[in-house]
Chains A and B, each alone.
Chain A
């Protein structure tokens, strides 16, 4: 019991003092995951819209596959990207293994399907309402897809946020391709796993608090944005 209490106090002190080591870990975590989310959104949003609006063979199986890929285990993604980047792998000569770039790549693979699947659902729902009007106005299918992405932008923020939540919280993929190297590829989740196994509970706990706070704050912001948008734009 006292260990837990002490851990809480020490964790509070670390956060309050803005401990350097803590800050660098949090900073790298955010840098990796935000970059990954940005890239995954650039890929996932158009893919989702195309699958929602497009009329091409194999659209239904693709929808099922996208939905299924939302639940991919991060360690397996990590393993696949590891094989891709390892010295003998096809991208081995780039020397990316155990760098933040490798972690970004793994997270992009992990969350692109999440953003694509969620945005497909959102855009498909809007398409049901808009289709006749947009076709009547003469919109081509790519044009209609783009219009729907713009028009559902506030709902799509939820899809992007789901991707970010998944990225900052996962351990498996970044652990395998990043290697959890101190000061280079150590992020919040891998540190928590490591410090807990070493017995340094205060640092693990402090990181845990920060991780949970970040996720909560992001969700609160997205919620506020949607509320504001609903009042402002209908």
Chain B
């Protein structure tokens, strides 16, 4: 049995009267690329924010590494948030918050920019870059933290196909570096290209957690079946 990364035990999240996540249990294994699919408003983003710790569950608990400490992790959002400073300083800032000593920050930031091919832009102000370039900076900033798991919330939703392909390539490189991936997408082609496993979320519940080949061949849950037929009729 593979090493567990994160286990959700009867996780529930309610905002006021509305329950957005209903007693969800899930176990993700380390080193896998898990893509979260589901219709709009199903609770995919909420689920990921719970896992990352941006919001606190109303009930239930999250167990890391089968009971160990919370591993280093990072998250990349649909719209990259760039600070009003240079690309290099954006990466260094994340390292500073992570407690990396000042002497190491610059070298580590430069190294990661080199690896994602952004060295020529290192001294440019981050906010004047294109959307695709900013998202690559966001990925570099996340990768610089040497995360064990990287959460991505529709990272290519506002990018053109070329920039999306580059972002996908980087996600694959980061995964090959030994980082588990948990990513929300609406793009089935992207799921097919990137995923090892699919988690399907509908109306605040996980209806299935299936390896990618099985999912597209024969989804186990009725909801995923509907979703796939609906999506495929458009593609």
Contacts and interface: CB of A to CB of B under 8 A. Distances in A.
**Do A and B actually bind?**
yes
B98 A138 contact: yes
A57 interface: no
Interface string B61-79: 0000000000000110100
Given A233-B127, A234-B125, A234-B127, A139 B83 contact: no
Interface residues of A, number: 20
Interface stretch (A23-31, A34-42, A84-92, A129-137): A129-137
A132 B128 contact: no
A136 B98 CA distance: 11
Nearest to A132: B54
B97 A143 contact: yes
Given A138-B97, A138-B98, A143-B97, A133 B127 contact: no
Interface in A101-132: 129-130, 132
B94 interface: yes
B139 to A, nearest CB: 13
B52 interface: yes
Contacts of A132: 49, 54, 75, 77, 81
A216 to B, nearest CB: 28
Interface string B108-150: 0000000000000000011110000000000000000000000
Contacts of A138: 97-98
A151 B98 contact: no
A151 B52 contact: no
A134 B94 CA distance: 9
A232 interface: yes
Chain A interface helix/strand/loop/mixed? helix
B84 interface: yes
Given A233-B125, A234-B125, A136 B83 contact: no
Nearest to A148: B83
Given A233-B125, A234-B127, A147 B83 contact: yes
Interface residues of B, number: 19
Interface of B: 49, 52, 54, 74-75, 77, 81-85, 93-94, 97-98, 125-128
Given A130-B81, A132-B54, 15 more contacts: A132-B75, A132-B77, A133-B75, A133-B77, A133-B81, A136-B52, A136-B74, A137-B74, A137-B94, A137-B98, A138-B97, A143-B97, A151-B84, A233-B84, A234-B126
From A134, A136, A152, A154, name the one whose CB has the most chain B CB atoms within 10 angstroms.
A136
Contacts of A134: 81
Contacts of B94: 137
With most chain B CB atoms within 10 A of its CB, the pick from A134, A135, A153, A233 is A233
Contacts of A154: 84
Contacts of B85: 151, 233
Contacts of B75: 132-133, 136
Contacts of A234: 82, 84, 125-128
A150 B84 CA distance: 8
Contact of B125 (A133, A152, A232): A232
A139 B127 CA distance: 20
Contacts of A133: 75, 77, 81
Q: Give the top 5 A-B pairs by smallest Cβ distance, nearest first.
A: A234-B127, A133-B81, A234-B128, A136-B75, A233-B125
B109 to A, nearest CB: 14
A154 B54 CA distance: 29
A185 to B, nearest CB: 41
Contacts of B98: 137-138
Interface in A129-187: 129-130, 132-139, 143, 147, 150-154
